[in-house]
Amino acid sequence: MSLWLTHPLFLPSLIVGVTIVLWATSLLPEFITALLFFAAAMMAKIAPPEVIFGGFASSAFWLVFSGFVLGIAIRKTGLADRAAQALSARLTDSWPRMVGSVVLLSYALAFVMPSNMGRIALLMPIVAAMARRASIVDGSRGWFGLALAVGFGTFQLSATILPANVPNLVMSGAAEGSYGIHLNYVPYLLLHTPVLGWLKGAVLVALICWLFPGKPHPPRDLAPLPPMSRDEKRLAWLLAVVLTLWVTESWHGVGPAWTGLAAAVVTLLPRVGFINGEEFASGVNMRTCIYVAGILGLAIAVTQTGIGGAVGNALLQVMPLDKDNPFTSFLALTGITSALNFIMTANGVPALYTTFAQSFADATGFPLLSVIMIQVLGYSTPLLPYQASPIVVAMGLGKVPARAGMQLCLALAAVSYLIYCRWTTRGISCWGNCNGKRKPGLRCAKPGSHVLSVTPVAFRHREKRITLFSLLLLL
């Protein structure tokens, strides 16, 4: 016992563990838990201040902040109501159709907007206005379902689009930096979309309709939309510029957080902007901002203190990784990703998991690229809301209680893992004994093996690189 108390990781692990338990159980409001983490971590000196408070310096934090400000402006000028009126006449005939349209819109927007937080900031005011027009009352189970449809549809389904969320980009960078593997846009999309995109999206819609029933009423007022006001036109042009800068980030190099922050500042300027000081103070949810900063700071601290590496090594020793049992090895790798998600959250998982990928590949006999791809299921399917900050932001904007978010997280995770395990079992049984034969777009781990990499061969060819923007040009 005394050895544990003197271990250099004991105190950091204790602080991180207590913080995670408090977030998972909601014994305290989430922002208070985040403040307790900051205070305890600084008093115990488990890491330098720039690590503990690193969440405040991250682009995700400032995307959340700017999203709140832009959302206030969208609602105040009437743009949200205008967009909602255009959508509600066609999409509020039935509850499944309304939920499905919100999920589909969240997913479709990921193809042109690279930021989860930006998409949530844009969609939430529109969905809220559409809900009001369909007589879905704020604070009702139906409203919770729509808010969660934005958060889950934005984060979980966008994992199938390589540049559309932070964990994907972390994984891509770690794979290229550690192993020289470059992940291409189209093969990645084709690999993950059927199950983690289409099938998971259908399951998400079904679960929301079941857990959060609602009865939308199509609006009776179908009068033609009035002409746009001067403020609406000005804000629409500002949002168009911001969206263009977000889409063309790879050309100019300015991140979505900073273009969003610049737009937020413009909306706050006297005479030029749309929001006064009182509206800013009442509309920006600083509790959610502090919560997000706490999540990000904890993930950085876990990496910098060495907790993540210690947990990864321990998992490598205890998990049943066996070359003769590929399905068991697949479950073990998925379990490792889910376990890391508890302590590092989704943004931090790929950085650690990818560094262990070669060891996992040697232990399981899986091709390295297949091992790297397996983690996508784990980090895109959080078991608790705090593991994915975009879901937390959507819940904060929609004032969704933690219990409702946990219900959907656990239900969707259970169904997703069952479906994915069944899919993988069929893949192993159909393609198991390769005997050195290759199929188009697929490759065996080695002749005579029982393990098949279901990763398209095009991942391995740099000369066939297809980026997001070349695809948009083709479309």
Looking at residues 232-246, what average pLDDT do you find?
A: 85
- The H or E element spanning position 168 is helix 166-179
Is pLDDT at 474 greater than 50 in this prediction?
A: no
Task: Dump pLDDT digits (tens) for 243-296.
Answer: 788 767 768 878 777 888 899 899 999 888 888 888 888 878 788 788 878 877
Which one is predicted more confidently, 54 or 100?
100
Please give the full DSSP string across 246-314, using - where no structure is assigned.
Answer: HHTHHHH---HHHHHHHHHHHHHSTTTSS--HHHHHHHS-HHHHHHHHHHHHHHHHHHHHTHHHHHHHH
Looking at residues 226-239, what average pLDDT do you find?
A: 86
Task: Dump pLDDT digits (tens) for 299-348.
Answer: 778 778 887 778 777 877 788 888 888 888 888 888 888 888 887 778 77
Is pLDDT at 468 greater than 70 in this prediction?
A: no
- Max avg pLDDT among 56-65, 76-85, 206-215: 206-215
Q: Which two tokens stand for residue 217?
A: 């009423």
Question: Cβ distance 170 to 351 under 8 Å?
Answer: yes
Res 424: pLDDT: 58
Angle at 401 between CA 395 and CA 403, to 5 degrees: 115
Res 32: pLDDT: 93
- Lowest-confidence pick of 70-74, 194-198, 262-266, 418-422: 418-422
88 pLDDT tier (thresholds 50, 70, 90)? low
Distances (CA, A) of 425 to 204, 229, 422, 438: 22, 57, 5, 19
Looking at residues 124-130, what average pLDDT do you find?
A: 86
Res 323: pLDDT: 83
- Strand, helix or coil at 54? helix
Distances (CA, A) of 81 to 130, 134, 144, 279: 7, 12, 19, 18
Question: Cβ distance 390 to 120 under 8 Å?
Answer: yes
Please give the full DSSP string across 84-144, using - where no structure is assigned.
Answer: HHHHHHHH-SSHHHHHHHHHHHHHHHTTT---HHHHHHHHHHHHHHHHHHTT--TTSHHHH
CB atoms < 10 A from the CB of 336, how many? Answer: 25
Res 156: pLDDT: 93
Question: d(Cα 165, Cα 152) in Å, to the nearest integer?
Answer: 13
Is pLDDT at 411 greater than 90 in this prediction?
A: yes
102 pLDDT tier (thresholds 50, 70, 90)? very high
Mean pLDDT for the chain overall: 78
Is pLDDT at 80 greater than 80 in this prediction?
A: no
Question: d(Cα 224, Cα 311) in Å, to the nearest integer?
Answer: 60
Task: Dump pLDDT digits (tens) for 43-78.
Answer: 999 889 988 998 888 776 887 788 778 878 887 887
